[in-house]
Amino acid sequence: TSATTTTTSAAAADQTAATPARRSGQRSMIDVPFTQHQTVRIGLIGLGNRGAGMLSGWAAVPGAVVTAVCDIRADRAKAAADRLVQLGKPRPTEYGGSAAAYKELVRSSDVDLVYIATPWEFHYEQGKAALLGGKHVGVELPIATELNELWDLVDTSERTRKHLWLMENCSYGRNELAMLKMAHEGLFGEITNGHGGYLHDLRELLFSDTYYTDAWRRKWHTRSTASFYAMHGLAPIAAAMDINRGDRFTTLRATATAPRGLADYRERHIPKTHPSWNETYVNGDLVTCLIETAKGRIVRAEHDVSSPRPYSRINSLAGSRGIFEDYVPVGSTGGRVYLEPDHGGHSWRDFAPYRAEYDHWLWKKIGDDAANNGGHGGMDYVLQWRIVQQMRAGLVPDIDVYDSAAWCAPVPLSVQSLSNDGRPVAVPDFTRGGWAELRLGLDSRETDMPPTS
Ligand SMILES: NC(=O)c1ccc[n+]([C@@H]2O[C@H](COP(=O)([O-])OP(=O)(O)OC[C@H]3O[C@@H](n4cnc5c(N)ncnc54)[C@H](O)[C@@H]3O)[C@@H](O)[C@H]2O)c1
């Protein structure tokens, strides 16, 4: 089987010969530090559940100031500005009232960093516009949904010399970062495989008339069969495998189950007069991607938001000396391990002592602030704090445009593979050969936040 796999994958990987050449004026953004910013001035685009939820975290980070807020719904921009004033912060400029209002924000001279938290369909155009406006850009998941768009964001970042990255908060999860440190310290031996994903029963929210604005997220399920949003679980596995930092994704093959969950939920819970009854759901409930790497590792990335089940990002990593599994009911951290030579007897051990020993410096340093200031157990604030710190200190970002493009590529590649009977398709090398060199990323060395005065 493995011989067949290798041959098929090699054939598919050959297609990466199609990597477009860099145009003149374009240079790699690998290891490019931010220029130093005394204060990081932030402009927010999209102030719904996520954008509004991240507002107080941005405002709380030392050295950050929110100078601009934008939403197509002007009342949301005003509410965000009012909230900042309530928090004792300066009133930001409000942009809103039209789909194009964000274009003024990205051109404004008092913004260094644009944060985009609009529906998926706007990320590419808004992210690109922010780069062209001379801003660094943090984009919610995914940065784009088509391969040509991912390439264009890479190219635009390389031309404008500004960073664009995925706001992958789960990369900063405490378990994920401890797992990363353990991987880099060799506790799993040679890493051979990992699994991650996004398994979140969103059915009630998808059919809510008030949660997702204009039900944008449900509508994606009427358009294509794709792994829309596996990044939360995929990115931490990619980091542990040094993807684009010593290894790279080479091929992807996908499977999808039949779409059953949303229609079944609608049948049981949604009145026949509801507009959703005009919709047909085509995305498979469980979409699985198997991604192979240049070093022969396999990653399984899953996406399911339409089936009844407790939440999980899977988050499991294994190698020649041991295995970690998250989201299992063992101990306080929810994780379990089995590591040679310490463990034997085919029985799992609690992850808690390992998490304590391999706790990432970011959590030791700002874990308490994170717990007070942010959602998702504090990892949102750790991400915000770290970005602002990197911009102020003039550091290289932990997550760059190449990481982001690789983690989001399964969205279009799963469509390609599924439309081709699940055959492997080549994953582009967005680094154009720069992937092979080992370099630090999320597993960073401790640095201090520069003083605020
Ligand atoms: N990282 C995480 O943990 C996390 C959590 C939740 C959501 N998200 C992501 O955040 C993004 C937003 O999701 P949400 O749940 O907040 O959706 P939402 O519908 O609550 O919010 C989207 C907002 O964007 C605004 N908007 C739409 N078009 C716009 C435009 N052209 N210009 C300016 N504003 C515009 C809408 O009016 C709305 O206020 C999505 O990408 C989602 O996947 C990430």
> Atom 4, ligand 1: which residue's CA is nearest?
50
Nearest C-alpha to atom 31 of ligand 1 is from which residue? 99
Backbone angles phi, psi at 200, to 5 degrees: -140, 115
For residue 331, the model assigns a pLDDT of: 73
3-state secondary structure 74-86: HHHHHHHHHHHHH
CA of 379 to the centre of ligand 1 (A): 18
Interval between CA 46 and ligand 1 midpoint (Å): 5
Gap between the Cα atoms of 87 and 151, Å rounded:
40
Looking at residue 5, its pLDDT comes to 39
Between the CA of 123 and the centroid of ligand 1 the distance, in Å, is: 10
Residues 179 and 351: their CA atoms lie apart, in Å, by 10
pTM of the predicted structure, to 2 decimals:
0.96
Q: What is the pLDDT of residue 332?
A: 80
Number of Cβ atoms within 10 Å of the Cβ of 91:
12
Q: Which of 72, 118, 198 to mutate to test the pocket of ligand 1 (most atoms within 8 A of CB)?
A: 118
Cα distance between residue 158 and residue 136, in whole Å? 12
Residues with CB under 6 A from ligand 1: 45-51, 70-73, 76, 99, 102, 117-120, 122, 140-141, 167, 169, 212-213, 216, 376
Report the atom number in ligand 1 closest to the C-alpha of 375: 3
The pLDDT value recorded for residue 8 is: 45
Q: Which atom of ligand 1 is nearest to the CA of 53?
A: 16
Q: Is the ipTM of this complex over 0.95?
A: yes
Tokens found for residue 333: 């951290």
Tokens of 288: 């699985």
Pick from 215, 210, 202: which is nearest to 285 by CA?
Answer: 202
C-alpha of residue 387 to centroid of ligand 1, in Å: 20
Q: What is the DSSP code (8-state) at residue 247?
A: B
- Per the CB < 8 A criterion, the answer to whether 438 and 244 are in contact is no
Q: Whose CA is nearest to atom 11 of ligand 1?
A: 117
Are 415 and 178 in contact by the 8 Å Cβ rule? The answer is no
Whose alpha carbon is nearest atom 27 of ligand 1? 118
**The predicted structure's pLDDT at residue 2:** 37
User: Which pLDDT score, from 0 to 100, does residue 342 have?
Assistant: 97
Q: Which residue has the tokens 């005065």?
A: 453
Nearest CA to ligand 1 atom 6: 50
CA 304/CA 311 separation, integer angstroms: 10
Task: Report the DSSP beta bridge partners of residue 95.
Answer: 70
Pocket test for ligand 1, best of 78, 116, 139, 140 (most atoms within 8 A of CB): 140
Between CA 422 and CA 411 the distance in angstroms is: 14
Distance 170 CA to ligand 1 centre (A): 17
Confidence at residue 330, expressed as pLDDT on a 0 to 100 scale: 67
Selection from 123, 63, 94, 142 nearest residue 452 by Cα: 63
Instruction: List the chain pLDDT tens, one digit each, 453 residues.
Output: 333 334 444 444 444 447 999 998 899 999 999 999 999 999 999 999 999 999 999 999 999 999 999 999 999 999 999 999 999 999 999 999 999 999 999 999 999 999 999 999 999 999 999 999 999 999 999 999 999 999 999 999 999 999 999 999 999 999 999 999 999 999 999 999 999 999 999 999 999 999 999 999 999 999 999 999 999 999 999 999 999 999 999 999 999 999 999 999 999 999 999 999 999 999 999 999 999 999 999 999 999 999 999 999 999 999 999 999 999 976 788 899 999 999 999 999 999 999 999 999 999 999 999 988 878 889 999 999 999 999 999 999 999 999 999 999 999 999 999 999 999 999 999 999 999 999 999 999 999 889 886
Can you point out the beta strands (E) in 73-186?
A: 93-96, 113-116, 136-139, 164-166
Of 47, 49, 98, 218, best ligand 1 pocket probe by most atoms within 8 Å of the beta carbon: 49
Residues 6+ apart with CB under 8 A from 416: 425
Q: d(Cα 18, Cα 429) in Å, to the nearest integer?
A: 10
